[in-house]
Structure 1
Amino acid sequence: MSIKDSLGYVITNTGRKLTQQLTLKFQPFGITSEQWAVLHWLTEEDGITQRELSRRTEKDPTNVTRILDQLEKKGWILRGANGEDRRSFLIFVTESGRELSQELLPIEAQFTRNMVQSLADEDIAILRRALSTINDHLNNPR
């Protein structure tokens, strides 16, 4: 079997290309697609710990630390003291971070629409269900 016939390869290769293309769209704003995803999660609810953010985004804590360092350096988030646990910080989105996230939201939405424009609505629903099922299985292997 050729590697190109491997479903794992197809999923990984497609995901990598999607990430690269979206990052190119975000490049004029000085943010990667991965950084934007974390920032956008925080705009939905900030004031959470890095551990909680890692759990919600399903990202490795070390990777989240690296992303947060970049977001903080660019002034889009702040880390504040956690009154319940002195070993951790609470993460807050700055006004400029909130504005950037909202500015990029329609760009990401249009990118996604373009990505699936050749698929029927039914195929999109099937793809979403299939990928969600795979993700759920990976989170909870039997």
Structure 2
Amino acid sequence: MGKSSRLFICCFVFAIFWLACDTQEKKEVHKKADYIRKIDGPSDSIPIEVARRGEVLIAYSDCYECHTKENRAKGPAFKDIAKRYPVNNGYISLLAQRVILGGSGAWGKSVMLPHPKIPQEEAETMVKFILSLKDSP
């Protein structure tokens, strides 16, 4: 094997090693972003009876196909939603509209399908249950 062949092989091996190390560094530098982005504001209390009714409405809906109480699935966890939003009539109404009309972008790339058959009052009761999880362990 000639001198130029050995030099080529050494450079080739060094280049592969350098690329492998460079890729590993990029993976370690990338950090997971916080997707909750809490909104500050005063929170009202939710009566337990209303929260329980909302829990029943959610159980009979298709919400658990994309959400769970504690862990992110296709959509955000209910507890993460509760951490983000203050409990007040403005946000309850806004979130109920998102349930009915659907939406995207608030929680990354996930898309919330519309639920036009859910009445506003029921959607608000469901949202109240979700927001009641704010203080639960």
Q: What band does the TM-score fall into relative to the shorter chain?
A: under 0.3
Structure with max Cα Rg:
2
The structure showing larger relative contact order (alpha-carbon pairs under 8 Å, at least 6 residues apart) is 2
**TM-score, structure 2 as length reference:** 0.23
TM-score by length of 1: 0.23
